[in-house]
């Protein structure tokens, strides 16, 4: 069972540029091509699908994703997204409408479960888990206590060491911590938001963040700036004998020619 994770695509309207993320569509095309070669069972996108959550941006995202005809893609919103516009453009993604409390869904394939937990509130940058979402998570995890599970969300609840992110309040973090501790079937918490790959142990499991598919941001520098590293994605591979392994794959703008 192979799950590919992409994150923080920040897709914008055609012709619109941001100084710190000038190119976002082409890197996403390249990332999807690289993923296609690995034939994952599914792809999960952990938020900030678009820059401003407009209908035009989701339409452009849809156009890009439509060119990819491989594995099913599941979309989870981040703080830059807007649920109603997302649901309206991706009208055929039924799981987006499972709940009125946010985008909350679970998928199960070949003895691995992915539980997707909406951690975004449209009025704030930091994480937001109210009682309704936490209650949904409790119930969902109690349904399959023995099935290895990936918990996917946009905001990392674990420490990242990035000052600007640590300063953002995360509502419901302590309650989430108790839930995660009580459910050892959670093998990984997979997030985005920080545009950098990192890992940390938290509440009896391992939390990881995916890089952005667009060029990486140098968030550790204190100021928002482009880093030299290309974007990329994560592969989470589950096998009964080895458990869950996570690999980072960078997607370079141009293939590097190797000479002897």
Which residues contribute to the site for Fe ion (CB under 5 A)? 8, 48
Residue number, 120 or 203, with CB nearest to Fe ion: 120
- What's the rounded Cα separation, in Å, for the pair 248 and 210? 8
Strands 149-152 and 198-202: unpaired
Residue number, 98 or 164, with CB nearest to Fe ion: 164
CB atoms within 10 A of CB 98: 14
Identify the bridge partners of residue 150 per DSSP, sorted by sequence position.
114, 188
CB 190 within 8 Å of CB 234: yes
Q: How far is the CB of 24 from Fe ion (least distance, A)?
A: 11
- What's the rounded Cα separation, in Å, for the pair 114 and 201? 19
Q: How far is the CB of 96 from Fe ion (least distance, A)?
A: 19
Q: How far is the CB of 213 from Fe ion (least distance, A)?
A: 10
Number of residues that this document lists for the chain: 260
Identify the bridge partners of residue 5 per DSSP, sorted by sequence position.
44, 234
Residue number, 79 or 203, with CB nearest to Fe ion: 79
Q: How far is the CB of 80 from Fe ion (least distance, A)?
A: 6
Residue number, 18 or 253, with CB nearest to Fe ion: 18
The residue at minimum Cβ distance from Fe ion is 48
């Amino acid at each position: 069972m192979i799950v590919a994770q992409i994150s923080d695509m920040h897709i914008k309207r055609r012709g619109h540029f941001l100084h710190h993320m000038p190119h976002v569509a082409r890197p996403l095309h390249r990332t999807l091509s690289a993923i296609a070669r690995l034939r994952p069972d599914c792809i999960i996108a952990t938020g900030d699908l678009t820059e401003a959550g407009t209908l035009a941006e989701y339409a452009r995202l849809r156009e890009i994703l439509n060119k990819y005809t491989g594995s099913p893609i599941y979309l989870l919103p981040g703080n830059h997204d807007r649920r109603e516009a997302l649901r309206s453009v991706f009208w055929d993604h039924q799981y987006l409408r499972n709940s009125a409390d946010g985008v909350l869904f679970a998928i199960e394939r070949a003895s691995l479960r992915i539980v997707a937990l909406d951690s975004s509130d449209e009025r704030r940058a930091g994480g937001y888990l109210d009682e309704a979402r936490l209650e949904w998570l409790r119930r969902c995890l109690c349904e399959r206590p023995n099935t290895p599970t990936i918990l996917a969300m946009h905001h990392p609840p674990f420490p990242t060491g990035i000052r600007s992110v640590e300063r953002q309040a995360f509502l419901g973090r302590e309650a989430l911590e108790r839930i995660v501790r009580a459910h050892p079937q959670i093998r990984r918490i997979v997030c985005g938001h920080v545009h950098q790959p990192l890992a940390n142990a938290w509440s009896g499991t391992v939390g990881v963040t995916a890089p952005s598919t667009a060029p990486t941001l140098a968030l550790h520098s204190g100021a928002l700036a482009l880093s030299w590293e290309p974007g990329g994605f994560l592969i989470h591979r589950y096998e009964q004998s080895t458990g869950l392994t996570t690999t980072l794959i960078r997607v370079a703008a141009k293939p590097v020619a190797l000479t002897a």
